[in-house]
Structure 1
């Protein structure tokens, strides 16, 4: 339920550290962000709550000291963190909006998550099974998304898991994260990192480790903590705690169901080779209860969620639980799909103005309407928009792509995950004349090489009979006088 306007405004004032109705006298960062109270601080950074003065939205501002970063040799580390945060945009991951800098500071402008840490919730006692499962589903969804993009968090713990105003989980603090290109020649990571209670035994052995399997171990420790209210391996002595972790011996409380106990023993398997994998977790019967995919896409640099339709075989208990999570990612808005296709009833394509045409071509040289670059192709067609869209659906179906669209804007979405996400192609249709349209094809997400191969092998051959031939270009010069 949405908060009443007065309550929401009061909560925002409290977050900003304001007692009254305004933020007069507060520091303004680069003329754009009002800086509020301090949320937390570390060795190299401080985090403040802020407000975007243009949109009035709350943000989190992470301020890093340039001199400390240079002295600590952390320039590459900071650059990697920025790159990772831009790569892993997901509903259950704290979003980096932009990076700003002054002579002495670097500022990360990030999503403000106002519900506090998951640690604060579990510190009050164990959670009920459905609530703990919901958080675990969201955590696994975010971790699976990161791993598909070659990103490994390596410091997953309840202090790094935040809750938003809806009670949804947000993974934060990618400062210790690693990417696939940091792996050594033996295919493993060797940097010792993580928080003692959540670190995997193979990290302790210092012989190298698989980043994905280390994250899965940490997820197992978090799940145990959520359900039991205490850690599976703990001792006041860090050395003694490491011995317990290395042995992998733990006891599940009597209130754990057998399904949960079995899953935890697979998550906390000291042998990384036999430890459960993300795909296996997704198929686990305990995990799947109440699980519903939440898909999303990024358009105009904003993240939008798409709720998946209910599955036919869902049980009544699943409907009642109402849990939502995400393990599948879309990169385009939903209007129609090939699973439940309805008559398109496409409206007339939007008309191109004279300014649009001039932007496509140089003067009256219409060859610009046939432009082709690395990530974009444009061509003319005399066929109506519904016929073009129907052909696109046919091509997508053969290639195993999903089709989504809105009006005369259609998206073809691949299913194969990679570091840059699934290949997503946007096709837009514009009316040039009542009998002629311009079709523009662009890569919106995914690997450029995969896009080129799809265009050459699938898209262009399939659309060839719908294209008009490029007109011969006749360049003339006009004299005046």
Structure 2
């Protein structure tokens, strides 16, 4: 038995629900031995196996093991049963910083204290090769003494995630807080992107609203890309100068964390404790990552799904917006003769989509190679006018029962590709396609909700 009433693993007295998501719940709990309050994140194993989130959970464990700092939520231990994974973490009694700023702007010295703690934590993360990539007031918690704690490393990236060009290429984060180079989807420096987000957080703390805000997402992108914002008249000149250097749309000239920490405004009232780099050398208990996903009763029944979906890419709200035809910055979905990619949505499971694509490739005598991230590469065997035709099909999960598929030419002749798509691929996919993107279509019955940004005060 996992629970004896509200007792978890004979070690924790499980209390009230603090928060809930698609794959996990967070409860307040009390350590039965020490009486200490903790937060326990309870993750459903079967759900994350089905949707290919195993690597993301492993990454979160690895990251929290690397990052031990006074201003980062501490991971005490990880436990597992046959059906659940339990993250036992530091309990931040003060809740989200977002709740404070939602009531209005903060005083300058209060905002500066939080910013100092945020920069100290982010600097330490970067020194360990960890880039958070989703810094915002909702992911900044407060302990009972009002000290800031960075949380939610589910979207974080490790240094080894970089491509050969030394950049990260996964678009993630919350639109209003992401750096211009992340929107451009051309690769970015994780440290520089985090610095930009810290600047947006500082602006929000001092102003009570976002620097980049527009109900039209295309206009929001444009404003972020050009760093088009206005300082409220109550911002001190020192803050304006610092923020101008942080919210520099060019990552190459954007201020570094070292320079931020040397800034005279930042230095005011700086707590000496922030100069401590970590809380100690002790390792969190029971962090054998592979053991957490060890054999269990459901492993045999989900083996095939795990093999197909373990690396299936997940779409967050930012990706969904970027992929939407109405917000496509490239214009590739406009009716023109040179488009090299098409996208469709499907309510079929990923395994059915993969099977259908493999059948089509077999009929067209194309070789199929499976790659990471839910990518299928289909290649011809004969040289065409512009080399061998190669088609990539990427499958992205929006929800477990709703997928977006992108089919695009990666090499070969465009006219040959368009002919195959029009005459062969599209007709063969008709029984699994819910809607082709960029065409007149009904809207999804259950659209993905977007977080409401903090609105500026009415003028």
TM-score, structure 1 length as denominator?
A: 0.57
Q: How far apart are residue 300 of structure 1 and its match?
A: 7.3
Unaligned 5+ residue runs, structure 1? 1-24, 304-481
1:118, distance to aligned residue in structure 2 (A): 0.4
Secondary structure, counterpart of 1:147 in structure 2? helix
Cα distance between partner residues in 2 of 1:146 and 1:296: 10
Residues matched between the structures, number = 279
Preserved contact between residue 26 and residue 36 of structure 1 (Cα < 8 Å): no
Q: Deviations over 1:438-476 (max 9, x none)?
A: xxxxxxxxxxxxxxxxxxxxxxxxxxxxxxxxxxxxxxx
What residue is the counterpart of 1:258 in the other structure?
237
SS in 2 for 1:81: helix
Counterpart of 1:235 in structure 2 is 214
Q: CA distance change for structure 1 residues 264 and 134 in 2, over 3 Å: closer, same or farther? A: same
Task: Quote how far apart the aligned CAs of 1:80 are.
Answer: 1.1
Residues of 2 paired with 1:274 and 1:120: CA distance? 33
Whether 1:204 and 2:186 are equivalent positions in the alignment is no
Residues 34-433 of structure 1 correspond to what in structure 2 (within 5 A)? Answer: 34-294=13-273, 295=276, 298=279, 301=282
Structure 2: runs of 5 or more not aligned: 285-459
Structure 1 pair 283/41, CA: closer, same or farther in 2 (3 Å)?
Answer: same
Question: Does the CA-based 8 Å contact 2:65-2:283 persist in structure 1?
Answer: no
1:133-157 Cα distance to aligned partner (Å, 9 max, x none): 0000000000000000100000000
* CA deviation map 1:397-433 (0-9, x unaligned): xxxxxxxxxxxxxxxxxxxxxxxxxxxxxxxxxxxxx
Superposed displacement of residue 291, structure 1:
1.0
Cα distance in 1 between the residues matched to 2:52 and 2:144: 37
Offset from partner CA, 1:15-41 (integer Å, 9 cap, x none): xxxxxxxxxx95111111111111111
Measure, in 1, the Cα distance between the counterparts of 2:74 and 2:92: 10
Q: CA deviation at 1:297?
A: 5.5
Distance of 1:219 and 1:50 partners within structure 2: 31
| Matches of 1:299 and 1:263, distance apart in 2 | 32
2:70–2:279 CA contact under 8 A, matched in 1: no
Alpha-carbon shift at residue 68 of structure 1 (Å)? 0.9
Q: Which residue of 2 aligns with 1:453?
A: none
> What's the counterpart of residue 29 of structure 1?
8
Q: Secondary structure at the match of 2:212?
A: coil
Q: Is the 8 A contact 2:68 2:280 kept in 1?
A: no
Separation in structure 1 between the aligned mates of residue 121 and residue 74 of structure 2, nearest angstrom: 12
Distance 1:54 1:190 in 2: 45
Superposition deviation, residue 43 in structure 1: 1.6
2:242 and 2:210 map into 1 onto residues whose CA distance is 16
Q: Distance in 1 between matches of 2:120 and 2:181?
A: 24
In 2, Cα distance between the equivalents of 1:188 and 1:127?
A: 35
Q: Secondary structure at the match of 1:266?
A: helix
- Asked whether the 8 Å contact 1:26–1:34 carries over to 2, the reply is no
Query: Displacement of 1:246 after TM fit?
Result: 1.1
Give the deviation of 1:228 after TM superposition.
0.6
SS in 1 for 2:13: strand
Higher relative contact order (CA 8 A, sep 6+): 2
Contact 2:70–2:278 (CA<8 Å) still a contact in 1?
A: no
Structure 2 Cα separation of the partners of residues 112 and 97 of structure 1? 10
* Equivalent residue number for residue 321 of structure 2: none
- Give the Cα–Cα distance (whole angstroms) in 2 for the partners of residues 231 and 122 of structure 1: 11
Distance 1:167 1:250, change over 3 A: same
| 1:44 Cα offset (Å) | 1.1
Task: With the length of structure 2 as denominator, give the TM-score of the two structures.
Answer: 0.59
C-alpha separation in 1, matches of 2:277 and 2:190: 26
d(CA) in 1 for partners of 2:68 and 2:92? 15
Rounded to whole Å, the distance in 1 between the matches of 2:267 and 2:280 is: 30
Query: Secondary structure at 2:95's aligned position in 1?
Result: coil
Deviation at 1:108, TM superposition (A): 0.3
How far apart are residue 293 of structure 1 and its match? 2.4
Give me the whole-angstrom Cα distance separating, in 1, the residues matched to 2:277 and 2:254: 30
CA contact 1:66–1:106 (8 Å) conserved in 2: yes
CA contact (8 A) 2:69 2:279 kept: no
1:302, 1:163 → 2: CA distance? 23
